[in-house]
Structure 1
């Protein structure tokens, strides 16, 4: 089918009108920062003018600010196959990785190893290393090659930290299988869902992991720096004393006790005062996504990425691109990556022409497909622009080689 025919049959097409998308722009970077839902600006204005401006401090109660982390967490839970009271929306992904890893370590005090793969997202690895340093030699941060991860789960491993959809390649890990392997070895497991939530079906209840984390500003469209989320399996919630024992995680924050007593349930993993404005924006994005059927989202994602790979074949043959994502659709998330020695300059040239993807060192150009607002026509047009950039050598200009702070 042609891109136009595929778009005509697309039941998700009406969602595109629910987002603010700049004219003459093809946005293929929603896997890094989601587009702006049209309702977000009005919701933010309401939160600022009415709730903050008029309600003032009363809005913690009257506007439901104090309940927002749990309320939005329960909504995210529906997107990732978790149950009510198992997800909390709060803090950043990095902070939640710290909470999950330290919580997991406390469940296995006789073990000392945090295990992950080389090439995992840097913040995950850095948090492992930071915890090891904080432990004064009592904790080891161990990295192995991706293909050796499963076999490396031995009796010394306390917790395995793994990303379900790899940020650079889009490779999808077998959540159920790897979780089962960790539990058989007596280890716990933490899953990073930053490139999963809103991109592929996730079944935490079925797979049975111990902890999971994810961010709110990619496929959930919560805005730059949106609050992240933390999943804690119900069976662990009241067994873990949070290492970050902040006042909002206290059993009775407004008793102002000198001694920390953790709240019951996932609420004990809150730390400081919730980011009310960030949560307001995030809730709009999550509510919008809850209107879509995840199976339909996944089917369109695979259709978009399949068309992209098909159209890229001549550029691989003639211009040196190499597919860095899995060829098997079942093993691929909602993004496609290619390696090219001039990847940075090529991406800068594309962005200058209104096709926005991103670059990941050392040589990866990355394209994200967000089915709520990306069309098959977008995909076809993006590859056509890339072909023009390569055939004319337009990428080979000094201004495209100059590195920006954010790539």
Structure 2
């Protein structure tokens, strides 16, 4: 008989480490598995300690959240460990985030955190503890097809977190379990109330948990004071329209705060770290159809080059965590991987993720994805 986590043994003979952030989702995962009779061990990583950020609504893995994870574990009667990973988190996530931003990119630290600290370091901790698997509170699903575990979109499309997990490797997927994949957030909160957990109404964590007051530039200036370099604000033809205090204060697609008088609304089109220029233009110039990807992680049933041979392969792609996937085509040219978005997207910036799906169904498989290296001009892919 196979248990709910896919092991051919009784739950009591299966040891599970649950990554507990102190939030509702991971707490319910620990409660569900403990209730089913698994040998559950809760582990919380202390990732940062940045003053106000540790008490800000929507933070995670710091301050009050660690106390919440401890209280939940005590209520459930499971062992709980807190590991100090601040130094590792700073080097693997915060510093690369600042460096990427200083280069004019729009990085996604949640992906980096999953790639390094959570699905590498924490996984090693789980294995050292003799766990059969590592369970998390992510809203994604996985299943085994033809002997290979696939990553799938969750039942609750509004909570779909596959965008942040596209870089999960096949080997990591084999060890991970996602008990909330077939549940909605409302059902999760209802279970937290049923279990009598004090965090049942706690707010969800925010994407960039370590940024106090949501000010990216403050974090970057603290880590890289030299990154705040003044420069010119120019139009698409290079005409100087004004000055800025540093490209770290801007993002592609931004309209407010440019400080330029113009007859039409102007938007940030590009950030050039080499010249320290902020390039602005009309909203129509933000539209992009094709992107070039780097650092590809492929989870498809066959190698990428086989599946996209010839004229490429139709699939669905997502370049915003809050948007639904859209029709797209992936192709390889001169060794580089490109994705053409049929409907296009506005304000795409280097550093963002492009996540690829098999189709537009609720049961769609995550085929992988990559980080956007550049938005490609139409003439280059015609």
TM-score of the superposition, structure 2-length normalised? 0.30
Tell me which protein shows more helix as a share of its residues: 1
Tell me which protein shows more strand as a share of its residues: 2
TM-score of the superposition, structure 1-length normalised? 0.28
